[in-house]
Structure 1
């Protein structure tokens, strides 16, 4: 395109510019259409040899003026440095030098101009080697991170599945015990079943984290549900020995995935009870869920990373809860934010809701 555009500015070299443009187009077409993936990984580097030939032709066509081709030679070397190993750059040295030097000799350029090759080419090669070293380090880091991520994914999946298997036996045993239990024993079995189900949800949460990381989204089963009932059912899985106030209208309906909503509420109320002070107030109105505590609030150094993975871990957790909350909120088409209150903090989740009747 540059060659064709230059014809308007330099009609005397129209034929030469057109030849260079056609050669560039053929090289681009070869880069696009040839089945490089079937050949060796470094096979596309052969295009560089053709590119050096075109640059040499261009310099010769313009009477040995290399000021227009020098930058393209550097650009070609930079492209190779980003994609190919060091030996390719060193193998390029001879054809690249020839592409720069031979047209100058053929057009009888002064010794000072010809001698510029002995400064220009070493500098170009050194710069390319520096780029290649940095690109190689980045590729090595990326491969290392990929191996770590693969290991982490396998660990999370294994942990989640290994937790679920023995829990299935525990749950079946508790359900059998419940059939004959009475009074206080029945209440204890019910509590054990609730907590068993809670651990199942935690295992599901680990799997959710893996799915979010690998696919970027979650499949939701959204339904129109009564908000107050949903909140009360979710609170059965939270120890509410501290004061929890539910401020939700009896007629309010909310369009959410029931299990995911419970995950959101359990995580937020659990954090409020663990790190804040009572009362913990749950308020749900229109398009927002708010869980507020009356504790010391969030330290300033944590506010920017609050919803990140492993951001607020400690002795009582690994710091995944708020990250999962945000991902679940986003999956519902909403957001999760922390709002400073005096005293305390309010975790606010937005998602679509409708009022019945």
Structure 2
């Protein structure tokens, strides 16, 4: 782009300086050639710093430009600084220092050839230190940014490996625990049966948490989740999900017996359990679950009667690790929003007096929409 711009300016220069039109046309052709090589040559197949050779060709063309304008370096200086700035973004500092000699020669030789006075020649003592200093500052900043990016990439790889390892390693011992609990449950009665039922529910919940960790990794890596959406009775979905919670929790369900919704059953349960768990943990009883239909959108509402959302959290409520604390890591609402988006819906918080209502929408599948 830099050399294409230089070629365009050389052509425009023929209008203001027609006496040197042939020279300027030559400069435009050279600039275009360098731009084409820079764009089309397969640099990725060469050694890392091979594109620095473009800079050497650029200095030659800049020298030709000064000569074409009869020794006027008004345009050469800025392009020299820009060329150095480009090099600083991509190459180590030793290349910038190696550029000093060819850049100085490209600046001075045309001035000497055209017989410029010593005062003009002395301008190199200003332009070259400025170009090198600017380039070194840019190179230092670019190097720090590259180092930070590599460090963040290493942290991200470690985090992804940790999540995968944790999620997978939890499943094996958990499966053994569930098998033992199932065997014990077959012969248990009375209080023992209730205790084992509770243990099985919590084991299933741990398994779902492992799935949630894997969901976090899948969403981060691919940006999307594959869903298996089918039509289910809404009331049955809610009742099945609530079996994972303690039966003594103060939860009210307001869902019509004939209402059906089209969702991924497992993901819907994740959404509902995350919202209800948050309402029980941070809000106040009773927790009310409502599902209603608004046109072609099904609307899930989970409302608590607690103190509401602090002002400081409203802007980041659905972000990763936004509401973490002693009882959680702050991924629940982020997962809720990602699962809602995967369904084509939304997740939002609405103020109530008292409390707050978490609203998740589930658009109907295209096959169920009535054509106009």
Q: Which position in structure 2 is the counterpart of 1:308?
A: 319
Equivalent of 1:115, from 116, 122, 126?
122
TM-score by length of 2: 0.91
Out of 330-339 and 27-36, give the one that drifted further.
27-36
TM-score by length of 1: 0.94
Contact 1:253 1:353 in 2 (8 A): no
Q: Return the offset for 1:160.
A: 0.7
Q: Which position in structure 2 is the counterpart of 1:82?
A: 89
Change beyond 3 A, Cα 1:178–1:9: farther
Alignment of 1:1-357 (within 5 A): 2=8, 3-8=10-15, 10-286=17-293, 287=297, 288-353=299-364
Out of 246-255 and 99-108, give the one that drifted further.
246-255
Q: Return the offset for 1:6.
A: 4.6
Contact 2:84 2:96 in 1 (8 A): yes
CA distance in structure 2 between the aligned counterparts of 1:115 and 1:356, rounded to whole angstroms: 78
Q: Return the offset for 1:356.
A: 11
CA distance in structure 1 between the aligned counterparts of 2:195 and 2:304, rounded to whole angstroms: 29
Change beyond 3 A, Cα 1:89–1:224: same
CA distance in structure 1 between the aligned counterparts of 2:185 and 2:196, rounded to whole angstroms: 6
Contact 1:252 1:356 in 2 (8 A): no
CA distance in structure 2 between the aligned counterparts of 1:30 and 1:131, rounded to whole angstroms: 25
Out of 123-132 and 14-23, give the one that drifted further.
14-23
CA distance in structure 1 between the aligned counterparts of 2:42 and 2:369, rounded to whole angstroms: 60
Secondary structure, aligned partner of 1:304: helix
What RMSD over aligned residues (CA atoms) do the two structures have, in Å? 1.9
Contact 2:253 2:288 in 1 (8 A): yes
CA distance in structure 2 between the aligned counterparts of 1:195 and 1:52, rounded to whole angstroms: 71
CA distance in structure 1 between the aligned counterparts of 2:283 and 2:62, rounded to whole angstroms: 69
CA distance in structure 2 between the aligned counterparts of 1:50 and 1:218, rounded to whole angstroms: 49
Secondary structure, aligned partner of 2:184: helix
Q: Return the offset for 1:4.
A: 3.8
- Give unmatched runs, 5+ long, in structure 1: none
Contact 2:201 2:245 in 1 (8 A): no
Contact 1:254 1:352 in 2 (8 A): no
Contact 2:198 2:246 in 1 (8 A): no
Out of 67-76 and 12-21, give the one that drifted further.
12-21
Secondary structure, aligned partner of 1:118: helix
Q: Matched residue pairs, number?
A: 357
CA distance in structure 1 between the aligned counterparts of 2:196 and 2:216, rounded to whole angstroms: 30
Q: Return the offset for 1:197.
A: 1.4
Change beyond 3 A, Cα 1:238–1:232: same
Out of 172-181 and 131-140, give the one that drifted further.
172-181
CA deviation map 1:80-109 (0-9, x unaligned): 111111111111111111111211111111
- Give unmatched runs, 5+ long, in structure 2: none
